[in-house]
Structure 1
Amino acid sequence: MSYCFHAFCVTVARMFLVKRVVCVRGIVWLQCTSLPLRNFSACHRLGSPKRRSPYSSEDSERYSSLVRSVASCRVSSQTPETLRAEDELVYGRVVKAAMPSTKPQTREPTRLHPFSLSQKTTDTQEPESEPPVRIVLNRGQGGSSAPSVTRILQQTLSPEQTFYLERWKRRMIEELGEDGFKEYSQKLFSQGKLFHSTVDALLTSSATGTDEHPLCLSEVQGYMESISHVLEDVSAVRAIESTVKHDTLNYLGIVDCVARYRGVLCVIDWKTSEKPKPFLSNTYDNPIQVAAYAGALNDDGNYKYQVDHGLIVVAYKDGSPAHAHQLSSELMLQYWKTWLLRLEKFTVQRSCDTSTALSEKR
């Protein structure tokens, strides 16, 4: 009996608690004291043909050297620490580069023009009992040719802002068509203009003490209900729809309102939106616009006071409470620096366009 077959029998005997294995004349007898063996036969295993290995047909001599090399290979005793030390000895120490910062680098304007003028102090404030100032913009002959704040911001959008704006426009055109999108844009513009006119008339009547209240049309009734809780905290209106100009930086704008909000003098900007904007970041470039208006007002000689706070009021057509985002003096200074960078970018672009136009004429 071969060694392998004997080992197999011993293993089976252990499984069935066999006491001993006896081989007489080639016949295996399993003697068990605790469990009887029933239905056990080794005939199938003894009589079944030997299964051929799929590698039996291969030329073993051809790969004998490979087998010997693999079988004789010793397991390396090196550890990750020893491998690292060996790499440092051969290739030098590994210099770990600093991870790139995900925080965008803050740029500073080339010329940091002051946000407010020192000669305008709180001692020279205009009397709040006077009616609100309304300086009309003159673009005609002899008028100002300075670019507006809105134009400068539109022409200095970042690539990311331009991408999202164009994508929104394409989606709206696909949904409404060219004519439908044009009609939709005109409707939004007319509603915004009517809303501003209604707010201006209401603030003017309250500032002058007249009892006449403007007619609230159905198109803007929801917007007016939306800002009703904000108007309760607005007092001492100084200016309404009035032009402000920065002579040194050569730009102008039209402020919606200058008044006190909860006792603090602010440049107030009224906005309408179809989507909720509960956070200041949802207002995109509006804080920069307010800071630009305030900086122009502080430089404009037509106003004898200065403003270092802002307020952005977002009204909703469905009448839900408007979001009022206050801008502290610290935030206004930050957005003022951003405005100066956008203004520098606009100036460079315009000079490049002028040079290109002159070269084309030649």
Structure 2
Amino acid sequence: LQVCCVRIANMFIVKRVVSAGGSFAPHCTSLSVSHFSACHCLASSRRHSPYSSVDRERYTSLVKSVMSSRVSSQTPETLQAEDEHMYGPVVRTPPPRPDMRVPKTLHPFLRCETTEETQEPESGPPVRISLKREQGGSFVPSVTRILQQTLSPEQIFYLERWKRRMIAELGEDGFKEYTQNLFRQGKLFHSALEDILMSGSTWKDKSLSEAPKYPSEVLGYMESISHILEDISAVRAIESTVQHDTLNYLGIVDCVARYRGVLCIIDWKTSDKPKPFLSNTYDNPIQVAAYAGALNSDENYKYQVENGLIVVAYKDGTPAHAHQLSSELMLEYWKTWLLRLEEFREQR
């Protein structure tokens, strides 16, 4: 068999040389292999072959290359094993570990003494408790203020870089006008939402008859959240103040309602860029958990909320993204909020 391979390979060489203008004799290229036998030693007479003078060792590498010109049988697993044998095992970078710190005092998220008998009925108009700061009273920081003053160095770096880039594009006055417009659009958006939720109607009903009365800046946002509003029911509070007397902080909840049957703290956000993942919302989950913890401890509310919802609306009418926070996630963000609250107190 080896002799056959050598001869076939050498025939291949002869033909390649002839086709390239070589000087081999014509009769060498017309040899037939149709009756070639591996048992050539049994032939009755041995005829002189033009290949007898070929140096077999010289073309051993060629034969090997011809015989091995097949698809490799190695798999990704065997290639990795070979690579590890030659260069050592692959050092994999471990995923970033979550913050393993724990609050010094793990304050409860829920008010344990609340029972089913003390739950408020879900009928009736939504509650709205206005913010009242007592004259001469002690200062109670807001959730927004605490989060702003406890940003990580990385968050501060990216915020400052974004601000410098925007100023470079718009100028100082242009950037100031841009931020003012964002604030105004946010207020108009929340006002339109409040009107719809207080009336108990849907955006579809409003868009057919009363949409023109809303500012043009919010029409895209309202269209963006229209599919979310269809799943909102049993609204219990709108733009209502919540306060945690034990931890001494307060906030204003956008909405408390049922989303697909689950009672949630709902936070409405606007954005120019898509935010399809919860991680894109930065500190918003911590904010929602802080609001829920304050509401659960506030005597003005006779019910408890364990879940959250962050809705990101888009000005161009693109369907909003709804990020649900389960009770397990809310507890994790509640611990993070307690750490931020401790950091804020240490700073002061």
**Fold-level similarity (TM above 0.5):** yes
Unaligned 5+ segments in structure 1 are 1-33, 35-98, 351-362
Cα deviation 1:14-33 (Å, max 9, x = unaligned): xxxxxxxxxxxxxxxxxxxx
Does 2:106 match 1:112? yes
Residue 321 of structure 2 is aligned to residue 343 of structure 1: no
Q: Name the residue aligned to 2:282.
A: 284
- Report the counterpart of residue 148 of structure 1 in structure 2: 142
| Structure 2 Cα separation of the partners of residues 213 and 126 of structure 1 | 33
Rate the CA distance shift 1:144–1:123 in 2: closer, same or farther, 3 A: farther
Paired amino acid for 2:101: R
The number of equivalent residue pairs is 252
CA contact (8 A) 1:205 1:213 kept: no
Report the more deviating stretch, 286-295 or 121-130.
Answer: 121-130
1:219 match: secondary structure: helix
**1:220 matches 2:214:** no
Q: Does 1:188 align with 2:186?
A: no
Looking at structure 1, the residues matched to 151 and 217 of structure 2 have their Cα atoms a distance apart, in angstroms, of: 31
Aligned to 1:315: 313
Tell me if the contact between 1:235 and 1:260 (Cα under 8 Å) persists in the aligned partners: yes
Distance (whole Å) between structure 2 residues aligned to residue 118 and residue 124 of structure 1? 12
- Give the distance between the partners of 2:187 and 2:115, measured in 1 at CA: 34
Residue-by-residue CA offset, 1:217-243 (whole Å, 9 max, x unaligned):
211000000000000000000000000
Task: Go from structure 1 to structure 2 and tell me whether the alpha carbon gap of 1:111 and 1:321 turns closer, same or farther (over 3 Å shift).
Answer: same
Q: CA deviation at 1:101?
A: 8.0
Separation (CA, whole Å) in 1 of partners of 2:134 and 2:154: 36
The correspondence for 2:233, drawn from 225, 229, 235, is: 235
CA contact (8 A) 1:115 1:298 kept: yes
Report deviation, 1:119. Answer: 1.4
Deviations 1:158-206 (A, max 9, x none): 0000000000000000100000000000000000011001101110011
Shift of the alpha carbon at 1:121? 3.0
1:170 is aligned, of 161, 164, 170, to 164
Judge conservation of contact 1:117–1:299 (CA < 8 Å) in 2: yes
Residues 266 and 308, structure 1, Cα contact 8 Å, conserved in 2 = yes
What residue is the counterpart of 2:254 in the other structure?
A: 256
Q: Secondary structure at the match of 1:242?
A: strand
1:158 counterpart residue number? 152
| AA of the residue aligned to 1:136 | S
1:201–1:213 Cα contact (<8 Å) kept: no
Q: 1:139 aligns with which of 120, 124, 133?
A: 133
**Structure 1: how far apart are the matches of 2:302 and 2:236?**
11
The letter for the 1-side match of 2:120 is E
Distance in 1 (CA, whole Å) between partners of 2:172 and 2:179 is 11
Corresponding letter in the other structure for 1:182? K
Q: Relative to structure 1, is the Cα distance of residues 129 and 329 closer, same or farther in structure 2, using a 3 angstrom cutoff?
A: same
Q: 1:125 Cα deviation (Å)?
A: 1.8
| Cα displacement (A) at 1:123 | 3.4
Q: Mean Cα displacement is larger for which, 135-144 or 253-262?
A: 135-144
**Counterparts in 2 of 1:120 and 1:165: CA distance versus 1, 3 Å:** same
How many angstroms does 1:297 deviate by?
0.1
Question: Quick check: 243-252 or 198-207, which moved more?
Answer: 198-207
Distance 1:218 1:127 in 2: 37
- Partner of 2:274, secondary structure, is coil
SS of residue in 1 equivalent to 2:216: coil
- 1:120 Cα offset (Å): 1.7
Kept in 2, the 8 Å contact 1:244–1:255? The answer is: yes
Q: Please tell me the residue identity of whatever aligns with 1:314.
A: V
- What is the rounded CA distance, in whole Å, between the counterparts of 1:120 and 1:257 in structure 2? 21
Q: Which residue of 2 aligns with 1:90?
A: none
More helix by share: 2
- CA distance in 2 between counterparts of 1:101 and 1:287 reads 22
TM-score (normalizing by structure 1): 0.66
Counterpart of 1:324 in structure 2 is 322
Q: Match for residue 303 of structure 1?
A: 301
1:36-89 deviations in Å (ceiling 9; x for gaps):
xxxxxxxxxxxxxxxxxxxxxxxxxxxxxxxxxxxxxxxxxxxxxxxxxxxxxx
Contact 1:268/1:311 (<8 A) preserved:
yes
Q: Distance in 2 between matches of 1:321 and 1:154?
A: 29
Within 2, Cα distance between the matches of 1:201 and 1:111? 40
Q: Which structure is larger by alpha-carbon Rg, 1 or 2?
A: 1
Give the match for residue 125 of structure 1.
Answer: 119
* One-letter code aligned to 1:287: P
Measured at CA, do residues 311 and 122 of structure 1 come closer, stay the same or move farther in structure 2, by a change above 3 Å?
farther
Percent identity reads 76
